[in-house]
Chain A
Amino acid sequence: MSTFYFIAFLSIFFSILVISAKNPVHSILYLILTFFTFTIHYILLNAQFLAIVNFIVYMGAILVLFLYTLMLINLNKESEPVKPFMVKIAGVFGGGILAVAVASSLKLIGASNPVLLQNPDLGLVKNLGKVLFNEFLLPFEISSVLLLSAMVGAVLLATKEKEPKAA
């Protein structure tokens, strides 16, 4: 039980560091740590498939993509222009209001039941695969089209435009 609270504290701590780090590279490294704590959360919930997918897809693929993009964009300019102080205060205030609103609405519900794992093999690959390929077969196929179109779109956007030919 205390494991959850410790990991939750780490998640919040690292995610605060993500948005407060001056250097974007440090932000990405803190984001990797945050995602690692999320992986531990998934393991604690016995969602083993999601833990592995989170580890490979998020920490392995997406964040490497972020790092590559940062590498392509030169960051020699040391000082990122910062927003005015009042805007920052307003931003933090707005986010805090959001958190307080949801938290206080939780107060209305009162104490909740603990999260119990009724079915130990709920999050295992075998069980999830059965659900995925029986009930969600069509969305699964459509998501492949989505990934293909994203790939085509990314290539189209990132390729340098040729000089416009005389039309």
Chain B
Amino acid sequence: MESLTNTMHAVPLNHYILLSTIIFAIGVMGVLIRRNAIVIFMSVELMLNSVNLLLTAFSVYRGDATGQVFVFFIMALAAAEVAVGLAIIVMIYRNTNSIDINVLNRLKW
């Protein structure tokens, strides 16, 4: 494990930020261009994970374990969010017989 981390010594912090930014942007695109509610949900997971990776990179950069504890809390939050969100999707499917989000535009009333 020590040798594995030694290979990391030359990666600048900027590259981690760039990677997380790109993956976050991909998640945003997924939310914007898809109509399937489950795929949109998966894009949200992608965004959460990119933030997790960035928090971990900052935590290692600063030598502070707090960031990794935060990632742990975010994961607990994501688990709760997925449970409730998927239950909502199942309920939407039961009521409207589709998971197309355009069916939900009557939510605004």
- A and B assemble together: yes
Which A residues have a C-beta under 8 Å from some C-beta of B?
A: 1, 3-5, 8, 11-12, 15-16, 18-19, 24, 27-28, 31, 34-35, 38, 41-50, 53-54, 57-58, 61-62, 65-66, 69-70, 72-73, 80-83, 87-88, 90-92, 94-96, 98-99, 102-103, 106, 109, 111-120, 122-123, 127-128, 131-132, 135-136, 139, 143, 146-147, 149-151, 153-155, 157-158, 160
Chain A nearest CB: distance from B59 CB in Å?
A: 7
**Contact across chains for A150 and B30 when beta carbons are under 8 A apart:** no
B38 partner residues in chain A, CB cutoff 8 A: 24, 27, 66, 69-70, 73
**Contact across chains for B29 and A73 when beta carbons are under 8 A apart:** no
Tell me if A's interface is mostly helix, strand, loop or mixed.
Answer: helix
What would 21 A/B residue contacts be, using CB atoms closer than 8 Å? A15-B27, A19-B27, A19-B39, A27-B38, A31-B46, A43-B1, A45-B56, A45-B60, A47-B56, A65-B86, A70-B38, A95-B25, A95-B28, A106-B14, A114-B12, A115-B12, A117-B8, A122-B59, A122-B60, A123-B60, A150-B80
Complex Cα gap A146–B72 (Å): 14
Tell me if B's interface is mostly helix, strand, loop or mixed.
Answer: helix
